[in-house]
Chain A
Amino acid sequence: MQSLTNRVKPVDRKPMTFLEKIYLWEIAKGMMITIKHFFRRKPTIKYPEEKREFSSVFRGLHILNRDEQGRERCTACGLCAVACPAEAITMEAAERKKGEEHLYREEKYAARYEINMLRCIFCGLCEEACPKDAIYLSQTFTPSNLTRAQFIYKKDDLLIPDPNKDPELYAKALGDRKKPQ
């Protein structure tokens, strides 16, 4: 049959030679290969102690960011939820009351903000959609939980620590990840 590409390789159907037939020599050759691997450096990364180097734009779990005064940036516009291809984000908006100016930057804020981490595909589109720079993807990953319900991250799980009260934790949560432009 004429082949469609020129990449066809005919199968070698030569009868086995004597050396191949008594197996021993071939087995010895194979064993030489495996023993080479035995002494080779192992690429294993012992995970909890060592961590893999991430790219600077790695997309891990989300954080809800605050501004310099420690106020929540999110204004519950819903753009992230619309942008999300996995429909993982839900929120409920509320109006800022008098005296809450130190808590929320905008007049409207998210009273409830949930991301279902089992649905999320970590595409980062929510981050790109957000006009207020409120949602970021961090370098944290591998969350583990015992139930599915616990994978729906509430606002408490997502909000970043206050930069004025807890600068260290804030910096840690932010990581050195660059936001893609």
Chain B
Amino acid sequence: MVLLSFDWFLIIEKAILISIVIVASLVIAMYETWGERKVAAFIQDRIGPDRAGFGGILQPLADGMKLFMKEEIIPNSSNKFLFVMGPGLAMLTAMMTSAVIPWGGHLEIMGRTVPLQIADINIGILYVFGVVSLGVYGVMIGGWASNNKFSLMAALRGASQMISYELAMGLSLIALLMLTGTLSLRTIVEQQSTGHWNIWYQPLGFIIFFVCALAECNRTPFDLPEAESELNFGYHQEYSSMKLGFYLFAEYVNMFISCVIMATLFFGGYDIPFVNDAHLYEIWGNWAALAQVVMLMAKVIFGIFVFMWIRWTVPRFRYDQLMNLGWKGLIPLALANMVITAVVALLKYNNWHF
């Protein structure tokens, strides 16, 4: 009876978790588009979309409808296979990162402990980095396959920008990892659950990470791959209908995921501040886990708001400024941060003896 020794419960539990996470990320990405328009409007003294549903709450559905109804155009001179694959790849890599993120503590269901995480692998951060760097393929392939000068240029820009900023991002994280001593995201969150959030130890590291996250998500001020005024929309210029929608959507999913990772690494993840979470579990049971998920979402939504706030404040960088900032500004800073952290960590390890 090989079949019975298989842990079917685990598979069902993970399948349910995966569907929930995917649906949740998509819905959140949808409402990010609405939020973006609202934030933009409010910052510009307007009120934004308010016609579809109460306060424009159905606007994302209307937008989605519109994108689905549009004519699908595949340019004759494009490489058809890659042209279709581009947006899919962008979406896939955007969604894949969510696998290692701890969304909350654990639930007790029928005597089983169900962790609210799809896979608690011990190299969580490395996995995130691996997948995030794959994200550039969506941009590259889409831009190249459209066989259009502007798209190609945008793809090149996107690739070089992502590579440059990933470096600084990685370096800023090394300092953080020296303090936590682990690569598993859940362990990192649990270490912070005493209220000692990593941002207090790594403020500089956080700023570098934040700037790089903006660049990785192609958000303003680093949205050079899709600079409308210079490149006619950049790498998705030739795309129409839902393929375009996928690119735009992937960008928002990316934004969501990077905010989640930021909250996890620097803001205590699902930890509820000023409250002993373990104690809460004794009182509330499963509700405590849900409260933790809500807490994480609150942090993430604040992060997303800051992303949007920055987007509607800061103009786009020039390309040489972008590269200067990345290579001459952020990387040396990240290196210095790393060395200082290393020295302090070593001293502390030696009980402050030289």
User: Do chains A and B stick together as partners?
Assistant: yes
Chain A: residues with CB nearer than 8 A to chain B?
Answer: 22-24, 27, 30-31, 33-35, 37-38, 40, 42-44, 46
Rounded to whole angstroms, the CA-CA distance of A44 and B42 in the bound complex is 11
* Residues of A with C-beta under 8 A to B39: 38
* Residues of B with C-beta under 8 A to A24: 207
Stretch of B88-96, B192-200, B310-318, B337-345 lying at the A interface: B310-318
When the two chains form their complex, are residues B43 and A34 in contact, meaning their CB atoms are under 8 A apart? yes
Chain B: residues with CB nearer than 8 A to chain A?
Answer: 39, 42-47, 50, 207, 309-310, 312-314, 325, 329
Pick the residue among A22, A33, A37 that contacts B42 (CB under 8 A). A37
Pick the residue among A30, A40, A43, A44 that contacts B313 (CB under 8 A). A30
* Residues of B with C-beta under 8 A to A40: 45
* Residues of B with C-beta under 8 A to A38: 39, 42-43, 309
Q: How many A-B residue pairs have CB under 8 A?
A: 36
Pick the residue among B44, B207, B325 that contacts A37 (CB under 8 A). B44
Given contacts A31-B309, A34-B43, 11 further A-B contacts (CB under 8 A): A24-B207, A27-B310, A27-B314, A31-B310, A31-B313, A33-B313, A34-B309, A34-B312, A37-B42, A38-B39, A43-B45
Rounded to whole angstroms, the CA-CA distance of A38 and B310 in the bound complex is 13
Rounded to whole angstroms, the CA-CA distance of A82 and B87 in the bound complex is 62
Rounded to whole angstroms, the CA-CA distance of A29 and B207 in the bound complex is 16
Rounded to whole angstroms, the CA-CA distance of A5 and B47 in the bound complex is 42
When the two chains form their complex, are residues B309 and A35 in contact, meaning their CB atoms are under 8 A apart? yes
Rounded to whole angstroms, the CA-CA distance of A37 and B312 in the bound complex is 11
Rounded to whole angstroms, the CA-CA distance of A27 and B317 in the bound complex is 12
Rounded to whole angstroms, the CA-CA distance of A33 and B314 in the bound complex is 11
Q: For the complex formed, measure the closest distance between the CB of B324 and the CB atoms of chain A, giving whole angstroms.
A: 10
* Residues of B with C-beta under 8 A to A34: 43, 309, 312-313
Rounded to whole angstroms, the CA-CA distance of A38 and B47 in the bound complex is 10
List the 4 closest pairs (A to B, CB-CB), nearest first: A34-B313, A34-B43, A30-B313, A38-B42
* Residues of A with C-beta under 8 A to B310: 27, 31
* Residues of B with C-beta under 8 A to A33: 313
Rounded to whole angstroms, the CA-CA distance of A24 and B214 in the bound complex is 14
Rounded to whole angstroms, the CA-CA distance of A168 and B209 in the bound complex is 68
When the two chains form their complex, are residues A44 and B43 in contact, meaning their CB atoms are under 8 A apart? no
Q: For the complex formed, measure the closest distance between the CB of A171 and the CB atoms of chain B, giving whole angstroms.
A: 32
Can you pick out 30 interface pairs between chain A and chain B where the beta carbons lie within 8 Å of each other?
A22-B329, A24-B207, A27-B310, A27-B313, A27-B314, A30-B313, A30-B314, A31-B309, A31-B310, A31-B313, A33-B313, A34-B43, A34-B309, A34-B313, A35-B309, A37-B43, A37-B44, A37-B45, A38-B42, A38-B43, A40-B45, A42-B42, A42-B45, A42-B46, A42-B47, A43-B45, A44-B46, A44-B47, A46-B47, A46-B50
Rounded to whole angstroms, the CA-CA distance of A33 and B325 in the bound complex is 24
Rounded to whole angstroms, the CA-CA distance of A35 and B39 in the bound complex is 10
Rounded to whole angstroms, the CA-CA distance of A44 and B48 in the bound complex is 10
Rounded to whole angstroms, the CA-CA distance of A40 and B41 in the bound complex is 11
Rounded to whole angstroms, the CA-CA distance of A44 and B38 in the bound complex is 14
| B315 to A, closest residue via Cβ | A30
Q: For the complex formed, measure the closest distance between the CB of A32 and the CB atoms of chain B, giving whole angstroms.
A: 9
Q: For the complex formed, measure the closest distance between the CB of B82 and the CB atoms of chain A, giving whole angstroms.
A: 37
* Residues of A with C-beta under 8 A to B329: 22
Rounded to whole angstroms, the CA-CA distance of A44 and B49 in the bound complex is 12
* Residues of B with C-beta under 8 A to A46: 47, 50
| B39 to A, closest residue via Cβ | A38
Q: For the complex formed, measure the closest distance between the CB of B46 and the CB atoms of chain A, giving whole angstroms.
A: 6
* Residues of A with C-beta under 8 A to B207: 24
Rounded to whole angstroms, the CA-CA distance of A33 and B313 in the bound complex is 9
Rounded to whole angstroms, the CA-CA distance of A74 and B171 in the bound complex is 84
Q: For the complex formed, measure the closest distance between the CB of A31 and the CB atoms of chain B, giving whole angstroms.
A: 5
* Residues of A with C-beta under 8 A to B47: 42, 44, 46
| A40 to B, closest residue via Cβ | B45
Rounded to whole angstroms, the CA-CA distance of A34 and B309 in the bound complex is 8
